[in-house]
């Protein structure tokens, strides 16, 4: 059922337009027509009270976006429509295509340095440099080069051998962190999704909802705990509808922790398998953002002290080494359980994934290779390493 947005006063409309401009990145698809979620709950504004006053109770002012009526046939058709058929040919070829900027850069440098040349100290130093330039970071580069020179020092080496040996030592670094997200064992499994603005949190939640609900037939719910900008909620709502899952939201400016709390109540009541909570990536400053996250977690724990069961940091691979400081910043405040790395399609900085694995050892659950609903794949170490060096 569709409910058209009620006419808002002009001030609010201006604010929303401004919010919209802030939120939408240049490549964002249009989100119109805007759809108003059904407010099937009483308008009691209890959550304006301090979070400490929260007690488990019936839902009050949260809105639930209804799941549209649909049949499995509709779902399948829609899923097919949303697929990017221009890019088919399996995960590996899509990843290779996506990572071609990274692999071309790395491959060309290797060709330049190593064509018919002995592996002497100078060549090894140059290789280390190449790996650092490919965003692997100095420590990881040194480790890979050390492994590489074993049994090969002072021997002539073919370019193809270099690539396959590099791929295998990168794969050794990546294998321990290639851990799929396991949402079984807790019900509801509560996943908090965090990351800096524009990293791909909302898009990743949409893709995961599609995967778990439409493909794995799990009962999924999404909560909009980025309550600071109307457009942020609207964007999440579009994804919820695409994936046919309900969205829990509250009015703009509500307490994000209250959204999380009420969503968990509702998820429990509705026997949901997976609750994903979208958070803000942009607040006035870093301290506010981190404080907000910590508060969301505190409040969730009031209902279930084992939750959140996953705290996933979404990282934009195009930010390169900056991803390290993002991980460190979030790690300082929350107990990160894993990463999703996005925008590996077209990123020249895919090597950062290897240095992240080496440096932090956090599970990498999935990687984003495009903006469409199907463009998320579990992280596979060997394939990723091969695609990265173009082996
Ligand atoms: N090419 C590409 N674009 C992506 C990918 N993931 C997300 N995007 C795009 O990146 C932009 C930001 O994504 P969002 O999901 O809005 O990011 P966010 O972290 O929720 O951002 P904020 O809500 O502003 O903090 C959008 O234009 C997405 O379409 C990806 O894997 N590949
Ligand atoms: Mg977002």
Q: Supply the DSSP string of 149-193, one letter for each residue.
A: HTTTTTSEE-HHHHHHHHHHHHHHHHGGG------TTSSSEEEEE
- Examine the pLDDT at 157 and tell me if it is beyond 90: no
Distance (Å, whole) CA 74 – CA 64: 22
Pocket test for ligand 1, best of 86, 101, 198 (most atoms within 8 A of CB): 198
* Two tokens, residue 375: 């463009």
Q: What is the pLDDT of residue 260?
A: 97
- Examine the pLDDT at 147 and tell me if it is beyond 60: yes
The percent of residues above 90 in pLDDT, for the chain, comes to 49
Please give the sequence-ordered ranges of beta strands (E in DSSP) within the chain, or none if there are none: 3-4, 35-36, 63-65, 117-118, 156-157, 189-194, 220-224, 247-249, 274-278, 310-316, 338-342, 364-368, 376-378
CA of 198 to the centre of ligand 2 (A): 7
Residue 190 Cα distances to 186, 272, 273, angstroms = 8, 10, 9
Residue 106 binned pLDDT confidence (cut-offs 50, 70, 90) = confident
Location of structure tokens 């990743």? 204
Q: What is the pLDDT of residues 4-60, one digit of tens each?
A: 333 445 555 554 454 344 334 444 333 322 233 333 222 333 333 333 333 333 445
* Two tokens, residue 315: 């990282």
Q: What is the pLDDT of residue 83?
A: 52
DSSP-derived pairing of the beta strands 376-378 and 364-368: antiparallel
Residue 179 binned pLDDT confidence (cut-offs 50, 70, 90) = very high
CA of 266 to the centre of ligand 1 (A): 27
Residues with a CB atom less than 6 Å from ligand 1: 23, 25, 27-28, 195, 197-203, 226, 232, 281-282, 314, 342-343, 345-346, 368-371, 375
Q: What is the pTM of this model?
A: 0.80
Q: Looking at ligand 1, which atom is closest to the CA of residue 28?
A: 27
In this structure, which ligand is nearest to the CA of 344? 1
């Amino acid at each position: 059922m569709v409910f058209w947005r009620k006419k808002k006063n002009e001030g609010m409309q201006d604010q929303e337009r401004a919010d919209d401009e802030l939120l939408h990145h240049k490549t964002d698809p249009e989100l119109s027509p805007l759809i108003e979620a059904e407010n099937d709950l009483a308008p009691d504004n209890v959550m304006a009270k301090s979070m400490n006053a929260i007690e488990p109770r019936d839902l009050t002012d949260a809105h639930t976006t209804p799941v549209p009526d649909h049949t499995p046939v509709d779902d399948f058709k829609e899923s097919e429509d949303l697929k990017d058929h221009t890019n088919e040919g399996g995960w590996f070829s899509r990843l290779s295509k996506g990572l071609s900027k990274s692999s071309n850069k790395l491959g060309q440098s290797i060709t330049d340095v190593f064509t018919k040349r002995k592996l002497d100290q100078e060549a090894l130093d140059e290789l280390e440099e190449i790996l650092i330039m490919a965003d692997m970071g100095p420590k990881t580069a040194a480790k890979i080069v050390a492994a590489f020179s074993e049994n090969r020092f002072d021997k002539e080496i073919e370019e193809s051998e270099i690539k396959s040996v590099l791929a295998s030592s990168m794969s050794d670094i990546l294998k321990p962190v290639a851990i799929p997200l396991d949402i079984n064992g807790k019900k509801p499994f509560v996943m908090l999704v965090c990351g800096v603005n524009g990293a791909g949190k909302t898009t990743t939640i949409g893709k995961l909802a599609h995967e778990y609900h439409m493909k794995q037939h799990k009962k999924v719910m999404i909560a909009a705990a980025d309550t600071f900008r109307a457009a942020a909620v609207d964007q999440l709502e579009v994804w919820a509808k695409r994936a046919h899952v309900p969205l829990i939201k509250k009015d703009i400016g509500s307490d994000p922790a209250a959204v999380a709390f009420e969503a968990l109540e509702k998820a429990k009541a509705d026997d949901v398998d997976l609750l994903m909570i979208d958070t803000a990536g942009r607040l006035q400053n870093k301290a506010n953002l981190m404080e907000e996250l910590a508060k969301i977690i505190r409040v969730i724990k009031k209902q279930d002290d084992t939750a959140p069961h996953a705290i996933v940091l979404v990282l934009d691979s195009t930010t390169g080494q900056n991803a390290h400081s993002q991980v460190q910043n979030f790690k300082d405040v929350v107990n990160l359980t894993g990463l999703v790395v996005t925008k590996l399609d077209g990123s020249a900085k895919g090597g950062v994934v290897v240095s992240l694995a080496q440096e932090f050892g956090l599970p990498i659950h999935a990687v984003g290779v495009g903006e469409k609903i199907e463009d998320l794949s579990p992280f596979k170490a060997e394939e990723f390493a091969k695609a990265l060096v173009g082996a």
